[in-house]
């Protein structure tokens, strides 16, 4: 039996494929597009046969289908995850900013409590690679602060990259690792 | 039509797909239809499509896109050289296993199982 597809049917099929596409985002782009294109073609053929609603129902759980495709690509070993890597990297960023803020505030509070002599006072842990913060005191009291971020930015960029790759297990995307795991 | 244990089917699905593809180059949904016509009525599309992807990943099938009048281009599969070899080996292994299982299952058994034999 042929079921001519209405615009609403085609839209429902496209929406199903889009939802599925979001569930396999950890697959390499070209492979993901190939799988989604194939699913679209198969769903359309099935819908021609039994109608769009039944075709989508017969597909079963999209999550289960996505898990099966991810299993084919990455095997049963822990999978790489772009989103997971980003999550860990953002945690690192927020934590380091909180530590930097706490450090500078504590340093400043400690200085002021000690009634410092006029001069420039510097807090630069790890040679300034975590932060290079200076407070100036003159005869009138507190004279302002400076924060040198050049080295800090380099440190953050390097740590971000390391945590992103480690947290997302992105080394598993290397072709030789994927072949070993298959 | 009898339903089939999904676990039993899972073990033999790749073999069935290779066999059907050896007969005729097909795309995913077409294979689902052919399996249903062969008597596996409760096969789900969500089982067949990843199985095809696995066969392609293992280089047991090759694929090509063929334009379709009714929608997106369809991906047609056929067995590769190693796919034909896997089909031959798998068919032989299945026949051996099926023969052994049939012999065991067809053997008569009593109403109550015999008690364990004491170790001497």
Question: Rounded mean pLDDT of A126-133?
Answer: 79
The whole-number pLDDT of residue A178 equals 52
Low-confidence ranges of chain B (pLDDT < 50): 1
pLDDT in tens, A80-127: 788 888 888 899 888 888 888 898 889 888 988 888 888 888 888 877
Question: Rounded mean pLDDT of A75-82?
Answer: 76
Dist. CA A106–CA A122, nearest whole Å: 13
A182 pLDDT band, cuts 50/70/90, is very low
Quickly count: other Cβ atoms within 10 Å of residue B45's Cβ: 21
Of A15, A17, A13, which is closest to residue A44 (Cα–Cα)? Answer: A13
- Does the pLDDT value for residue A174 go beyond 80? no
A contact set with B (CB within 8 A): 35, 37-46, 48-49, 58-61, 64-65, 68-69, 71-73, 182
User: How large is the greatest C-alpha to C-alpha distance in chain B, in angstroms?
Assistant: 75
Q: How far apart are the first and last CA of chain A?
A: 40
pLDDT in tens, A44-62: 999 999 999 999 999 999 9
Dist. CA B82–CA B118, nearest whole Å: 51
- Does the pLDDT value for residue A76 go beyond 90? no
CA distance B115 to chain A (A): 42
Task: Indicate yes or no: CB of B46 within 8 angstroms of CB of A69.
Answer: no
Q: What is this structure's pTM?
A: 0.70
Task: Indicate yes or no: CB of A65 within 8 angstroms of CB of B49.
Answer: yes
Nearest to A69 among B27, B53, B75 (CB): B53
Question: Rounded mean pLDDT of A63-78?
Answer: 88
């Amino acid at each position: 039996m042929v079921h001519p597809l209405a615009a609403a049917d085609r839209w429902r099929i496209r929406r199903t494929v889009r939802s599925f596409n979001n569930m396999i985002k950890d697959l390499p782009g070209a492979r993901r597009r190939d799988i989604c294109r194939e699913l679209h073609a198969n769903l359309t053929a099935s819908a021609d046969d039994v109608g769009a609603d039944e075709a989508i129902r017969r597909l079963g759980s999209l999550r289960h289908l996505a898990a099966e495709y991810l299993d084919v690509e990455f095997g049963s070993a822990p999978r790489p995850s772009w989103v997971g890597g980003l999550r860990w990297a953002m945690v690192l960023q927020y934590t380091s900013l909180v530590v930097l803020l706490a450090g500078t505030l504590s340093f400043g509070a400690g200085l002021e409590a000690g009634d410092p002599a006029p001069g420039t006072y510097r807090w630069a842990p790890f040679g300034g690679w975590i932060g290079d913060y200076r407070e100036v005191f003159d005869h009138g009291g507190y004279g302002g602060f400076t924060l040198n971020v050049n080295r800090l930015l380099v440190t953050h960029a390097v740590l971000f990259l390391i945590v992103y790759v480690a947290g997302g297990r992105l080394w598993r995307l290397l072709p030789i690792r994927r072949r070993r795991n298959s | 039509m009898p339903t089939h244990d999904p676990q039993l089917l899972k073990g033999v699905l790749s073999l069935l797909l290779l066999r059907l593809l050896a007969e005729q180059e097909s795309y995913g949904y077409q294979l689902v239809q052919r399996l249903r016509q062969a008597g596996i009525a409760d096969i789900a599309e969500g089982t067949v499509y990843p199985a095809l992807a696995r066969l392609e990943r293992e280089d047991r099938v090759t694929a090509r896109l063929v334009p379709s009048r009714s929608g997106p281009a369809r991906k047609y599969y056929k067995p590769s050289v190693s796919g034909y070899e896997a089909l031959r080996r798998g068919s032989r292994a299945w026949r051996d296993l099926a023969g052994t299982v049939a012999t065991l299952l067809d053997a008569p058994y009593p109403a109550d199982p015999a008690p364990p034999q004491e170790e001497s």
